[in-house]
Each structure stands twice: as structure tokens, then as C-alpha cells.
Amino acid sequence: MTGPAPGQVTAPEIDRLEGKDVSTNSLKASTDRGRAGDKIFSGISLAAGVLILAVLFSVAVFLLVQAAPTFVADPAEVTGGNGFTAYILPIVIGTVVAATIALLIATPVGIAVALFISHYAPRRFSRAFGYVIDLLAAIPSVIYGAWGYIVLAPQLAKVYTWLAENLGWIPFFTGPASQTGKTMLTAGIVLAVMVIPIITSLSREIFLQTPNLHEEAALAMGATRWEMVRMAVLPFARPGIISATMLGLGRALGETMAVALVLSPGALVASLVKSGNQTIAAEIALNFPEAFGLRLNELIAAGLVLFVITLIVNMIARFIITRHQEFSGAN
């Protein structure tokens, strides 16, 4: 490095002589390298966040505005003639029942399959198996619906007849059973089949992330494999399992096509083996094409109710997860 010749006045010195603020601290020199990247990236992520909120907000506003006429309409004019509440309540119950059946079946099965893949199956086999499960999640719901309609329902009809004859004293199985098998229970089972891959895929990923440290801790104490799973894997995966179940529930609540194909709808009945009942999503899909005027507002109001149900369910799930945060190992 060659400095200025002795006696010569350098540019910074001229600045100093002229009273300008010159700093010799090289750390203060701005380095634009990287700074721009930071700004662009934070701008993009902010924009993405705002966009999501804006979409959610606009959907909510759309639902509210379009649904509003239903709430102020003359009760006699609403479908059924007894006001919106009387119209919506049976299908809200139907929606919740269908989703509940689906989750009651899908959660234990999904977790068991995920555990099998992550902790029990031979490694080579488990990879192929996991791939198949992921494929199942990608099958369009109309195909599940068609399968439920053509294959599953006729098979289940026989089971339903037996259930109605032998367990008919339980309100859920009161006869006479549907001869086509197109009932609430079938819808719930088809939904379960659709939800299982979602719960399985997500749970498997979480199970695989269980720290080796904790699995070994359990094994070194003399835990069997199942005890190790209960002691280390499941507690660790708990928030993930809840999230997976919630995603599954989201699909079960909102599923339209499969339910529309598999269920022959009707009035609310307690029996799950009779035809009858309806879900919000299927109700909207079946009636939307011919709806106009107040009927259209009604259906959108039904959509609003579904939106609110989903919101409440998700908030409950969040609450359950955060309640145990202290013991999550995140600290």
C-alpha cells in the first residue's frame, strides 16, 4: 500500500480542514452489500403476511355482507319457514357429527400408521409406505366420494342392517337401516379415509423429529419400544398431533364432494344408519347452482357459520397447545 507522499494533503484532510464531519472509524462505513437483500426479504415477507390477512378479511367481509339479508328477513321466508336458526341448526349438527365420526376414526388410525412408519417398520419398507400414504392425501375428494358411493356404501348397508337389528336400542343405530348405505356413518367413514393420510403424513414427520436423546433416555431406563414411544415420542409430538388433527378436521368440516355423493340428505335424525342429516358444505354445493335472492344469502350465511365453526375449533386447538407450552421442551 502506498500512502500519500509527505507534505501532500489528502482528500480527507481537506474535508477536515474545511470542518466537514469526517470519521476515521472504518466500522462506520456503510456496507451496502447484504443490506439490500435484508430489506427486500423483509419487504417480501411483510407483503406476504399482509396479503394473507387481506384475503382472510375480504372473505370475512364478503360472507358478512352477503349473509346479512338472511338475518333480517322475515322468518317465514327462510327455507323451512321458521327462520335461519331453525334452518341452520340441523345442518350444523350434521356437519359436526360427520367431522366427529371422521376424527374419532382417523386420529387413532392415523397416529398408529405414522408410528408404524416412523418407529416400527423396517427402514426400507417404511419409506415406500410413507410415499404411498402421501399419494393417498393427493387423491381428489370426488374420487373418494365415488368410491364411497359405489363400493363402500353397499357393503356397509349389510352392517347397518345388522346394527339396527341388534343394537337398535342405542339411538345412533335405530332402524330401519338404509338399504343403500348412504348414511351419516358412511359419510363419516369416507371422510375418515380422506383425513387419515393428512394426519399420518404430518404425525410421521413430527415423530421422526423426536430427539434421539430422549428416545435413548427412555430405552436406557429399560423401557420397551412402546413405553419409549409413550414416554418420549408422543409427549414430544403432542402439539404436532393436535395441529395435524386440526388440519384433518378442517378437511372433514369443509369436505363437499365426498359427502354430497355418499350421503342421501334429509332431516336431522339421531340414527347414523338411516338416511337423513346433512352437512353445511354439501348443503351449499347441492343448492348453490339454482339459488338466487334470499336463498343465495341463506347459503352464504351457512358458509359464514362454517367459517365461524372452523375458527372456534382452531382457537380451542391453539389454546390446548399453548396451555402446555411450559412443558414442551422449547425453553
Partner 1 sequence: MSKRIDVKDLNVYYSKFLAVEDVNINIEARSVTAFIGPSGCGKSTFLRTLNRMHEVIPGARVEGEVLLDGDNLYDSAVDPVSVRGQIGMVFQRPNPFPTMSIRDNVLAGVKLNNRRISKSDADSLVEKSLQGANLWNEVKDRLGRPGSGLSGGQQQRLCIARAIAVSPQVILMDEPCSALDPISTLAIEDLINELKSEYTVVIVTHNMQQAARVSDKTAFFNIAGTGKPGKLIEYGDTTTIFNKPAVQATEDYVSGRFG
**Which residue lies nearer to partner 1 by CB, 223 or 270?**
223
DSSP class per residue in 229-274:
IIIIIHHHHHHHHHHHHHHHHHHHHH--HHHHHH----S--S-SSS
Answer whether 280's CB lies under 8 Å from 302's CB. yes
DSSP state of 177: P
CB of 331 to partner 1, least distance (A): 6
Alpha carbons 123 and 117: distance in angstroms, whole number: 8
Q: Which of 8, 23, 25, 331 binds partner 1 (CB under 8 A)?
A: 331
Please choose, out of 14-22, 64-72, 193-201, 234-242, the segment that lies near partner 1 by the rule CB under 8 A: 234-242
What the block records as the C-alpha cell of 4 is 500519500
Is 326 among the residues that bind partner 1 (CB under 8 A)?
A: yes
Q: How far is the CB of 207 from partner 1 (least distance, A)?
A: 14
* Binding residue for partner 1, selected from 58, 165, 216, 311, defined by CB under 8 A: 216
Q: Is 322 in the site for partner 1 (CB under 8 A)?
A: no
258-297 residues near partner 1, rule: CB under 8 A: none
Of the residues 136, 238, 266, 313, which one makes contact with partner 1 according to CB under 8 A: 238
The grid cell for 181 is: 348405505
Residues 287, 289, 292: CA angle, nearest 5 degrees: 85
* DSSP conformation class of 181: -
Q: How many residues bind partner 1 (CB under 8 A)?
A: 27
Of positions 232, 249, 258, 305, contacts partner 1 by CB under 8 A: 232
The reply to whether 1 sits near partner 1 by the rule CB under 8 A is no
Residue 137 binds partner 1 (CB under 8 A): no
In whole angstroms, the minimum distance from the beta carbon of 316 to partner 1 comes to 21
What are the Cα distances from residue 226, in Å, to 36, 110, 119, 120, 290?
A: 52, 17, 9, 10, 55
Alpha-carbon gap, residue 203 to 187, rounded angstroms:
24
- 232 with 215: CB under 8 angstroms? yes
Applying CB under 8 A, the span of 44-52, 139-147, 178-186, 231-239 interacting with partner 1 comes to 231-239
Burial readout 258-287 (b: 16 or more C-beta within 10 A, e: otherwise)? bbbbbbbbeeebebbbbbbbbbbbbbbbbe
Stretch that binds partner 1, among 54-62, 165-173, 199-207, 209-217 (CB under 8 A): 209-217
Out of 40, 132, 221, 320, the only residue in the binding site for partner 1 (CB under 8 A) is: 221
Please, which residue, 13 or 216, has the CB nearer to partner 1? 216
From the list 45, 85, 209, 224, which residue makes contact with partner 1 (rule: CB under 8 A)? 224
Residue 40 host element (H or E): helix 35-72
DSSP code of residue 328: T
Q: Which is nearer to partner 1, 166 or 325 (CB)?
A: 325
**What does the alpha-carbon distance between residue 154 and residue 139 come to, in Å, rounded to a whole number?**
22
Work out the number of other CB atoms within 10 angstroms of the CB of residue 33: 7
Q: Which of residues 86-125 bind partner 1 (CB under 8 A)?
A: 123
Minimum Å gap between C-beta 126 and partner 1 is: 12
Closer CB to partner 1, residue 19 or residue 222? 222
CA distance 58 to 60: 5
Could you tell me the smallest distance in angstroms from the CB atom of residue 129 to partner 1? Answer: 17
Q: Give Dmax over CA atoms of the chain in angstroms.
A: 112
78, 84 Cβ separation under 8 angstroms: yes
We find the least distance from the C-beta atom of residue 240 to partner 1, in angstroms, to be 13
Site membership for partner 1, residue 129 (CB under 8 A): no
Residue number, 41 or 327, with CB nearest to partner 1:
327
Contact 160, 178 (CB under 8 A): yes
Residues that bind partner 1 (CB under 8 A): 123, 211, 213-224, 227, 231-232, 235-236, 238, 324, 326-331
